Structure 1
Amino acid sequence: MQKYWVPALERANAILALLAAEPSDLRLIDLSNRLGINKSSMYSLLNTMETLGWVVKGKGDTYSLGPALGSLSAAFFRQFHLLQSFHEEAASSAKRVGETIQLAVLNGRHVLYLAKEETAAPVRVVSDPGMRFPAHATSLGKALLTQFDYDSLRELYHDQEFEAMTPYTVTDLEQLWEQVKQSKINGYACDLQEAVAGFYCIAAPVYNHSDRILAAVSFTMMETAWQEKFDLARDEIVDLARRLSQRAGHTRT
């Protein structure tokens, strides 16, 4: 809830996000100007974050992410052995369909890509592990958003303008909710050129032992492949999500 919001943490998060995107490029004054935080406050934030190991200051007094975040990231990935399970299970699915599979989690209103299993498909998917993308524009995001009811979804996007990544991207909450509702019914979600023009995706959610969505997996392909392989890709991505859910301790069907 907004009344319990801690502005200093929000500013620290903005600093980390910017440093993740532009490591070793930005000085204190650059961060201050880019984020609209005055220099004295920025100095205090960076000094604290540097002491905690969240950031490090390098040559030219530029900043990058620190080792403490690496430890936290490693701990996050160890939680469910999800990456290992993904690579063990996804290889056979990618081979059967002949298209790239991606794994992602929900990070606020974005998807955070964790891993991908590529094939010899002629077009390479450019989203790499560690990248973020607006959830409303992706099949992965919509599969992950099926954990929300309407009120929770509205709260998540209460102050959000829906960025149109392509002419096909959903542009308001009601459109998104209709797609999320249909994805709940289907057990999978689609992205029809909504994230990147020319690309089609289909995703399914992965559940943990307590029947909560912890991640999602997707196929990405071009239009011709989508028309030829939709049924195969749909069945395969749903089955892959089921296998990963079982490995995470999920027992409901």
Structure 2
Amino acid sequence: MSTTDKSSTTVKSADRVLDIFELFAEAEVRELSLMDITRRLELPASSVFKILQNLVHRGYLEKDENGKMFHLGYKIFQIGAKYAQHTNLTTEFQYIAGQIVTEVNEAVYLSIRSDRNILYIAEKQSTHHVRFVSHLGMKLPLHTTAMGKLFLSAMSDKDVVELYREQELGLLTDQTISEPEKLLEQLKEIRREGVAYSQGEAVQGIRCVAAPILNANQEMIAAMSISIPTTRWKEDTWSQMTELVTQGAKKLTSIHYYQPT
């Protein structure tokens, strides 16, 4: 095979990979089978199968328990998180979070959704020795965190039930919500109040309050939170944190996404 032939093959393979990613991005459903992909892209099943196995191996796609359905994998979201670090959202977050840390000296976080998890994309730490320290790219289950429950509250109850239809609510601590009915009840409260709380549900001894960041269509695209160890928790501090994170999230929404009509 000539150099030209190899080059053409490489470009064709790259195009097919990108076609698959774009198909998942545009599909109305979260998961697609091999036959779904081959039919929609009009590609040979044998070629698509090899590409899918490669993407699964590299973490760009993941398979369901039966190995027949595919969905976007963690690697896609890690890359998205790295990209987000260089956007104005994270730049402005650092400024606003810095003001919050100056006022209450507690850690502030920014996250996006990654399937059934939240993905940490930015943080501003407190100066306390005792604190919850995340790392960029860390993921925690949606139902265990204040930011994650915000993302769930943006969904309908029907969609939340469907999301966990074949997966139990896993436990991270003895405070983690494990009953779907209890989770749905808490989501109603979050929708009513506009903020979410976590009482040691993801990390033992850590309380968290979070507020949503919206886009121009009033859709939630990120979440901002403040965390505090229970050893430093006080009612007046908690109220102040709730106010600060709410105002901080509104500022980020206004600066980057809100467009008056």
TM-score under structure 1 length normalisation: 0.72
**C-alpha spacing 1:237/1:72, structure 2 compared with 1 (3 Å):** closer
Contact 2:125 2:133 in 1 (8 A): no
Secondary structure of 1:196's partner? coil
**C-alpha spacing 1:119/1:152, structure 2 compared with 1 (3 Å):** same
TM-score under structure 2 length normalisation: 0.70
1:248 matched residue in structure 2: 256
Runs of at least 4 residues off by over 4 Å: 1-4, 7-14, 68-78
Contact 2:81 2:121 in 1 (8 A): no
Instruction: Name stretches of at least 5 consecutive residues in structure 1 with no aligned partner.
Output: 19-34, 38-64
How far the C-alpha of 1:135 sits from its partner, in A, is 0.8
| In 2, Cα distance between equivalents of 1:115 and 1:241 | 14
Contact 2:173 2:201 in 1 (8 A): yes
How far the C-alpha of 1:77 sits from its partner, in A, is 5.2
1:87 matched residue in structure 2: 94
Contact 1:167 1:194 in 2 (8 A): yes
Per-residue CA deviation, residues 101-139 of structure 1 (Å, 9 max, x unaligned), is 010011111000001001212213232110111110001
Per-residue CA deviation, residues 150-184 of structure 1 (Å, 9 max, x unaligned), is 01111221211111111110002211111111111
Instruction: Name stretches of at least 5 consecutive residues in structure 2 with no aligned partner.
Output: 1-27, 35-48, 68-74
2:242 matched residue in structure 1: 234
Contact 1:102 1:219 in 2 (8 A): yes
| In 1, Cα distance between equivalents of 2:85 and 2:100 | 22
**Aligned residue type for 1:154:** V
Residue pairs, 1:35-184, within 5 angstroms: 75=83, 81-184=88-191
Aligned length: 208
- Answering whether residue 249 of structure 2 is matched by residue 222 of structure 1, we say no
| In 1, Cα distance between equivalents of 2:114 and 2:247 | 24
**Aligned residue type for 2:248:** L
Q: Which structure has the greater CA radius of gyration?
A: 2
Contact 1:100 1:121 in 2 (8 A): no
Which stretch has the larger CA shift, 7-16 or 83-92? 7-16
**Aligned residue type for 2:253:** S
Per-residue CA deviation, residues 184-242 of structure 1 (Å, 9 max, x unaligned), is 11111000011111111111111111111010011111113222411100000100110
| In 1, Cα distance between equivalents of 2:252 and 2:30 | 38
**C-alpha spacing 1:73/1:139, structure 2 compared with 1 (3 Å):** closer
